[in-house]
Every structure is written in C-alpha cells, then in structure tokens.
Structure 1
Amino acid sequence: MDTSEAETQLGFESEEDSEMSDGALQEAFAKGLLKPGLNVPVEEAKKLANNVEGMKQCLADFCKTLPWVERLNLTNLPVADIVAKAEGRLVAPDGEINAEDDFQREMYFYRQAQATVLEALPKLRKLNIPTKRPTDYFAEMSKTDQHMQKIRKKLLVKATAMEKSEKAKKLRELRKYGKKVQVEVIQKRQKDKKAMMTSVKKYQKGMTDKLDFLEGDQDKVKKSTGPSKAQLNKKGANSKRKFKDQKFGFGGKKKGTKWNTKESHNDMRGFRAKVAHGKGGKAGKASGKGGKGNKRPGKEARRKTKSKK
C-alpha cells in the first residue's frame, strides 16, 4: 500500500485530491474507510506526582550546600500572648486554635512572625547585615517623572476647582442670608411704621393722650447720631484743644452777650440814680446838666452861623 492509499484510508487528503465530491465521500464512508475521530488529537491525562521524599531530599541538599543567609529559613512557634495574659483571658495552647475564627487565626500568624523577627534580627546583626533602610535610600519608581508631573497637575487642577466651588457655595449662602436679614429688617420697619401710624391716629382722635410713640424715634435718633457734645465734653478735651483754648480763648457765642436777662434786669445792686440821670459827678459836668460846661448850640443856630460865613 502506497502513501496516498494509506492517507485516503486514514481520512487524510492530499493537495491534489483536496476537493472530493459528495459522492466520493459517501462511497468511502460506505466502504468503512472514513471513521469518526481520526483527526482529533487525544491528550493523555497528566500524572501528578507527590514525591514527598524527593522534596525532603532537595530541602536537605539546600540546607547542606547553601549558607543560612541565602536561605533565611526559620521555623518558630508563636510568642506568648502577653496582652491576653495581662487581661486575664484564657489562652489556647499552640496548635489548638479554631481555624474558622479569623481573628484568632490572624493573631496566631502575627505572633509567629514576631517570634521569627526576634530570632532573625540577632543573626543578621552578627553577620554584619544591615536591617534598616538608609536615610539616603531612593527606591526605583514604577512610573516616570513626567507621568507623575501630569498626575500632580491634574490633582492641582482638581483641588483648585473644588476650592472655587466651595467659595462660590459660601458666597451663595452669604447672599441668601443677607437677603433674609434685609427682608426681616424691612418687615420690622414696616411693622414699626404701622404701629406708629396707629398710635398717631388714636392720639388725633383723642382716644389716648400718651406720646410714647415719639420716644422710640428719639431713641433711634440718639443711636444713629452717636454721642452728644455734652457726653464728649464729659470725657475732657485733648491737649491740642486745651492749647488752642489757652491761646485764643474758649470761643462760643459773641452776639447778644450784653443783652439784659431777667436776672440782670432785677439786680439793682450797682444802680446809682445820680450817675444814671446825670446829676453831679463828672458825668453831669461834662453833659452840662447842672454844671458850668459850654452848651452846644442847636441845629438851627449852627445852620445860620454857616450861612453868615
């Protein structure tokens, strides 16, 4: 049997006979030359070997040939649970923990790691191997500096946007509060005005004789104008004001200072009748009343004298 016949029997086709008609395929199937599953590869099941003895032998070889620094293998039991003893809680013996209790299981691993560290650190120091990271240690970053700069810029932009948003939010709240206060003030003014108008109408109609509604306005005027001059004078003038008062006087009202008042009109202690009416004394002699002084000619006599000249 040549190669072509063998391939035909096995269901393989050559390049020349790659296109077989349906009739040829049916005849081959009828003769038993075509069988299902010939072209499907069959994979054998993998054999899993658990060679415990071989693994132990390899571990023993490693321990004999490699130093401890290269292996760093330690087998330790967990340290004593000092916290539980201090709190007076019962501590389960090593190896008798509940595997379903997550906290108890993790604490067991944690105490076992503590025991390993306590045993490994003295060995490393004895071999002069540093166990602390130097101060000038720089780790190789997984991202480039350009990439980190981009991320930093994005974070700054995001932080700035959030800050602006917070400021805008605060401004909106302040505006709302300001509008609310303004509305309250306007309502209070309208209420006070309405109450005052009601009181005025009652007073005009004679329903009341009290003017208490005017006292409120006076109080408002006092509050708005601030302290009066009398209150300021009580505090005392400053040194500049005192110097000007000493140099130029105290100022004040000039016009009408010599006018009589009720008290000065009724005060007769300095009144002298002879002086007041020109009787006696220098005033009487000077005026010619009762004295020997020259009398001034009258107006008509003075006119005639001027005409004669």
Structure 2
Amino acid sequence: MEFADEDVMLGQESEEENSELSDSELQEAFAKGLLKPGMNVVANKPRTPVNSVEGLKQCLADFRKSLPWVERLDLTNPPAEDVFSKVDGKVENLANGDVNADDDFQREMFFYRQAQASVLEALPLLNKMGIATKRPDDYFAEMAKSDQHMQKIRKKLLTKQMIMEKSEKARKLREQRKFGKKVQIEVIQKRQKEKKAMMNAVKKYQKGMTDKLDFLDGDQKTGKESAQGSKKAMNKKGPSSKRKYKDQKFGFGGKKSGKKWNTKESYNDVSSFRAKVAHGKEGKGGKKGKGGKNKRPGKSVRRKMKSRS
C-alpha cells in the first residue's frame, strides 16, 4: 500500500511539472489582474452552413439507382387544377412562387391540390404494376395493442357505463320521490281542507245557523243503502220479536237531539221549582235528619270556640 501511495504522489508531481503554469504562478497572475472570466473556457466556433446542391443531387441519384419506384413511391408534380375556379370562370393555377406563405388558406389548398395530383398520377402506375390499391372486404388488420390491454379498456368502459346508468336511475328515483312527496302533500292538504270545512259545517249546524246536512251526503248514502237492505230483509222475513217489543215500548223513534234545550216558555216556567230541595234543606225523601239538627258544630265554629276559651 505504501508503494502505491508513493506512485500516486509521484504521478501528481509529474503532472504539475508538465503543466504550463503551476498554482503559485496562477495565483500571482490572478492577484495582478491578468486572469479574466472566459479566458480559460474553450469556445466552440460556429459552424458555417454548407448548401451543397450537387452533393444532395448525387445522394438522390444514388437512392434512385439502388431502390425501385415501388419501394420509394416518390413523385414530383405541380398541384392539380382547381375545378371550382374554372366553374366560376376564374382561371387560377398557382405555381410554387405564386403562393403566399402567410395566407394559411391558400397554403393549405396548395398542399391539398398537390397531394391530389400525386394520387391521380400514382394510382394508374400502381394498377399497371398489378398492385392492389383497395382494401378487400375480408381484410382483418392486426391490432396495435394486445388483447389484455383491450380487455382492460373494455372493463373500464363497462364500469363507466354502469356508473352512468346508476346515476341516471338515482336521478329518476329522486325525481319520482319529489313528485310522490308533492302528491302526498297535496292529498294531505286536501284532506285537511275537507276536514276543516266539515267541522265548520258541523259547528254551524250545532249553533242553529243552518239546518242543512249536505256535509253528510256520504254517510246518508251509506245509511240509505243499509236501510234499503234492512227493509228488503224485513219484507222477506218480517221484524223480529225483539224489534216488535222495542217498537211497542219506545215507539218508532223520532227527533232525540235537542230535547233538553231551553225554550222561552221552559225558561219562564218556575212552577216546579222547590227552594228547600234546591238549597238542600231537606234530606233524602224530604225528611230531616235525626234530632233535626247536627249535634257537632262545624270546623270553623270549633276553632272559634277554642280561641275564645
């Protein structure tokens, strides 16, 4: 290891000796101001462009000699004629120098017509050589991507479609719930309104403000139907013995409500009024209690008697 270190040290010293300037000399030059930025950087000289037209032509000729036209498919031709300009009466056949490079529409049309001319020239040549230019009906192109990759894409598309369908179903359910809730609220409001109207009609009838029972049409209908059914049954079989006994005892009914209401005559009639009975001066059966008086005084009297003593 010691010999190796010595060899390295000797190599560094020999490199410093072989260099043009040592560290001390560089320090002195820097202190004097002789060294400036960029002096020790190797600057690359700019390359002058060379437009060798003859060399390019020579390379092109070599390519043409080595490869047939079917392999190259190169064509050099002017743009095709503008049919629309001829129909309109305008004769316009632009050359390379007549195209304005700043006009995007004119430039793109020039490229389009030049490609059209190339196709019109290349198709007859390919047909002469027996090369098919149309795709057959039973042509199956090889996929650029693998089947596994396409399966992943298909799964992603299916998941997206399912998510969209679920969101659509959820949206429809929300709309149906909103509509159902709206209908339910309307039904509840209608029932409350009918109930309120019926209660008002019942109150008016109870107060005697009206004698109509139109609010009981539904009940009357059901009552009529049941009465008709019972009448038919009675006509067939006749009334039962229980019914006959009640009719004989109580009669056939009649107006029962309002019997206890006061009238002007009943209010003014005081012939049946008995003060002793009304004020509780008589006991049961109109007789006084034992001895005629209570033997024991009341609680308040007893307290007074105690306070006096």
TM-score range, shorter chain: 0.5 to 0.7
- Say if 1:100 and 1:196 are closer, same or farther in 2 by CA, change over 3 A: farther
Q: Which amino acid aligns with 1:94?
A: L
Equivalence map 1:187-266=2 (5 Å): 187-205=189-207, 207=209, 213-214=215-216, 217=218, 256=235
- Alpha-carbon offset, residue 37 of structure 1: 5.9
1:211/1:80 CA distance change after superposition, 3 Å: farther
Counterpart amino acid of 1:59?
L
Label 1:136 to 1:211 Cα distance change in 2 as closer, same or farther (>3 A): same
How much does 1:93 deviate? 3.6
1:190 Cα offset (Å): 1.3
Q: Look up the match of 1:289.
A: none
Deviations 1:2-55 (A, max 9, x none): x7576332x4x7xxxxxx6xx675357679998976753332322311112322
Give the distance between the partners of 2:86 and 2:197, measured in 1 at CA.
Answer: 80
How far apart, CA to CA, are the structure 2 residues paired with 1:132 and 1:211?
92
Residue 71 of structure 1: CA displacement? 2.3
| SS of alignment partner, residue 76 of structure 1 | coil
- CA distance in structure 2 between the aligned counterparts of 1:83 and 1:210, rounded to whole angstroms: 92
Structure 1 residues 193, 100: CA separation in 2 closer, same or farther (over 3 Å shift)?
farther
CA distance in 2, matches of 1:118, 1:79: 9
Report the equivalent of 1:53.
54
Partner of residue 151, structure 2 = 149
**How far 1:85 moved relative to its partner?**
5.4
Q: Which residue of 2 aligns with 1:78?
A: 79
Distance in 1 of aligned mates of 2:189 and 2:159 = 45
8 Å Cα contact 2:77-2:118 kept in structure 1 = yes
Match of 1:7 in 2: 18
Compute the displacement of 1:123 (Å). 0.8
> Which residue identity lines up with residue 156 of structure 2 in the other structure?
K
Q: Take 2:175 and 2:117, find their aligned partners in 1: how far apart are those partners? A: 59
Q: String of CA shifts for 1:40-86, please: whole Å, max 9, x gaps.
A: 33323223111123223333444455432122122233333445555
Q: Determine if contact 1:80/1:111 at 8 Å carries over to the other structure.
A: yes
SS in 2 for 1:78: coil
Within 1, Cα distance between the matches of 2:34 and 2:195? 118
- Report what 2:281 is aligned to: none
In structure 2, distance between residues paired with 1:136 and 1:40: 63
* Secondary structure of 2:45's aligned partner: coil
SS in 1 for 2:19: helix
Q: Paired residues, what number?
A: 214
* Cα deviations by residue, 1:70-129 (Å, 9 ceiling, x for unpaired): 22122233333445555x485744244544343343233222222221221111111011
The residue aligned with 1:136 is: 139
Distance in 2 (alpha carbons) for counterparts of 1:207 and 1:90: 99
Q: Which residue of 2 aligns with 1:163?
A: 165
Q: Give me the whole-angstrom Cα distance separating, in 1, the residues matched to 2:28 and 2:237.
A: 157
Contact 2:85 2:92 in 1 (8 A): no
Match of residue 294 from structure 2: none
Distance 1:73 1:190, change over 3 A: same
TM-score, length-scaled by structure 2: 0.53
Q: Do the aligned residues in 1 keep the contact of 2:198 with 2:215 (CA within 8 Å)?
A: yes
The secondary structure found in structure 2 opposite 1:47 is coil
Paired residue type of 1:51: S
* Cα distance between partner residues in 2 of 1:90 and 1:202: 97
Match of residue 105 from structure 2: 103
**Given residue 7 of structure 1, which amino acid in structure 2 is its aligned partner?**
N
- Contact persistence 2:100–2:106 (CA under 8 A): yes
Q: Structure 2 vs 1, CA of residues 99 and 165 (structure 1 numbering), >3 Å: closer, same or farther?
A: same
Asked if 1:26 corresponds to 2:46, the answer is no
Q: State the AA in 1 paired with 2:173.
A: L
- Residues 103 and 32 of structure 1: is their aligned pair in 2 closer, same or farther, counting only changes over 3 Å? closer
Structure 1, unpaired ranges of 5+: 14-19, 222-227, 229-252, 260-309
Q: Does 1:174 align with 2:172?
A: no
Return the offset for 1:133: 3.2
Query: Partners of 2:35 and 2:17 in 1: how far apart?
Result: 12
- 1:8–1:33: 8 Å Cα contact kept in structure 2? no
Letter in 1 for 2:19: T
Structure 2 counterpart of 1:119 = 121
Name the aligned partner's letter for residue 116 of structure 1.
S
In 2, Cα distance between equivalents of 1:67 and 1:118: 20
Cα distance change, pair 172–68 in 1 and its aligned pair in 2 (3 A):
same
Question: Partners of 2:91 and 2:149 in 1: how far apart?
Answer: 52
AA partner of residue 111 (structure 2): F
What is aligned with 2:94?
94
